[in-house]
Amino acid sequence: MATHPVELTVETRDLSRAFHGRAILSGINLQIPRGEFVALLGRSGSGKSTFLKALAELDHDVTGAGVLAVPQNKSVVFQDARLLPWRNVLQNVTLGLRGAEAAGRRMLAEVGLAGREGSWPVELSGGEQQRVALARSLVRQPELLLADEPFGALDALTRLKMHDLLRELCARHRPAVLLVTHDVDEAISLSDRILVLDEGRFVEDLRNDLPSPRTPDNLRFGQLRRHLLAKLGVAAH
């Protein structure tokens, strides 16, 4: 039987980055197959955002073979929505795209903002602004979605709703995802695979095959959480 090689969306080889002589990333090798949802955990300052910026091709000072493969069609979502205040919601979503009004409206409906196309960013809550940011990134049908703590500034309840939304959107549009997060439960509940970055390297790379619904009161969820917290050097409670 013929075996098909896995189609890779991301590949890095020996990717390294230092700031002022201090190594932050030390020879990182990573392959992300098409459509895989990867969560990246690590202590504050471990280099998660630095790695994400390298994949976003926003950092040209990496060394080693570096980023061997990354799609041109990729989107980045940050902790703050970064909407243009002088453009309405629909215009923010379709910014830079020609003839995308219908697609923008559809995507706004998908993120639960049908009817808000003409609103101004200032009229939206933080959670709604992040919904617009998600719509803006996904209307481009990216092969890779890079998300840097996208829900970090939201309250706990809104964050849980955003998890459901992101899960749904990713199941429908199937981008590969690299989600940087501090939140172990977020990583467990959303991802297919979890990486832990420490001292410039991945100290954990595990498949997350927990069945859904992934609720924190589930026994295996708790075991995985304890394992990851230990890797992060945090005592579980």
Interface residues with ligand ATP (CB under 6 A) are: 19, 24, 42, 44-50
- Structure token digits, residue 154: 């939201």
3-state secondary structure 196-231: EEECCEEEEEEECCCCCCCCCCCHHHHHHHHHHHHH
**Helix-strand-coil split of the chain, %, nearest 5:** 30, 25, 40
- Give the residue carrying structure tokens 């629909």: 90
Order of strands across the sheet that contains 66-69: 22-33, 8-19, 66-69
Smallest gap, in angstroms, from Cβ of residue 19 to ligand ATP?
Answer: 4
Q: How many residues does the chain have?
A: 237
- Closest separation in Å from C-beta 176 to ligand ATP: 20
> What span, in angstroms and rounded, lies between the C-alpha atoms of 53 and 161?
27
Whichever of 48 and 131 has its CB closer to ligand ATP, that residue is: 48
Q: Is 112 left (phi over 0), alpha (psi -120 to 50) or beta?
A: left
Least distance from ligand ATP to the Cβ atom of residue 182, Å: 6
Nearest to 177 by CA among 97, 71, 105: 71
In the complex, what is the shortest distance from the CB of residue 206 to ligand ATP, in angstroms, rounded to a whole number?
A: 19
The nearer residue to ligand ATP, 38 or 113, going by C-beta atoms, is 38
Q: How far is the CB of 159 from ligand ATP (least distance, A)?
A: 16
Query: Alpha-carbon distance 152 to 64, whole Å?
Result: 31
Minimum distance, C-beta of residue 62 to ligand ATP, in the bound complex (Å):
12
Closer CB to ligand ATP, residue 16 or residue 49? 49
DSSP state of 46: S
For ligand ATP, the closer CB: 60 or 172: 60
Judged by beta carbon, residue 50 or residue 75, the one nearer ligand ATP is: 50
Report the nearest approach of ligand ATP to the CB of residue 200 (Å): 10
Residue whose CB is less far from ligand ATP, 15 or 111: 15
Residue with tokens 């020609």: 98
Nearer to ligand ATP, 44 or 72 (CB): 44
Pick from 201, 228, 230: nearest CA to 51: 201
